[in-house]
Amino acid sequence: FLTGGVPVVSIQPSASALCRAGEIVRMGERPIAEALAHGLVPLVYGDVALDEEWGCTIVSTEQIFAHLAPKLRPRRVILAGTVDGVFTADPLRDPKAHLIEEITPANFARVEGMLAGSYGVDVTGGMLSKVRRMYQLVLSQPSLQVRLISGLKPGLIERALLDAQLAEGTLIHAEPAR
């Protein structure tokens, strides 16, 4: 990132997240706010967190963003995964899978139907859970845009960070794209 001109700082969620029954009840947003205030790009990720009921749990990146976004009010969230965005089926298993370029209130129900059962599910719920959480987040913050891209394509994360109009991956939004 630094060689690409992006001043990224990794913020470890497990250092401040506290959960109850798998949901975040408290997490320190101050380090992230300070990073942003100093022109840094905070990198957060799914992690293990302490849980008042279960001892510990896994929190997804999407849970973390859903918890932090109401406090920090970001304009954009970028999720980098192993595939190029959201597809009509699991692109790792189905060569006929097509990229869904946008998810909005106009097509969410149709997309949700395609994702139900079309992807494998990991410990954090898989693609369906990721899309549902991010869709709910953009509905609650209509000016927010979430972009899902491949973290495996060289240079793509840097381009996504530097170019708000990047047209790769899948864009989830509630308002017309800007």
Q: Domain spans of the chain? A: 1-60, 75-178
Assigned token pair, 4: 């690409």
CA distances to 89, 127, 143 from 117, rounded to whole Å, are 9, 10, 30
Please tell me the pTM assigned to this model: 0.88
75-178 under CATH 3.30.470.20, yes or no: no
The backbone torsions φ and ψ at residue 107, rounded to the nearest 5 degrees and listed phi first, read -125, 5
Check: CB of residue 88 under 8 Å from CB of residue 114.
yes
CA–CA gap between residue 3 and residue 1 (Å, rounded): 5
**What tens-digit pLDDT sequence spans the chain (178 residues)?**
656 678 999 999 999 999 999 999 999 999 999 999 999 999 999 999 999 999 999 999 999 999 999 999 999 999 999 999 999 988 888 899 999 999 999 999 999 988 865 455 555 668 899 999 999 999 999 999 999 999 999 999 989 988 889 889 999 999 765 4
The backbone torsions φ and ψ at residue 30, rounded to the nearest 5 degrees and listed phi first, read -60, -45
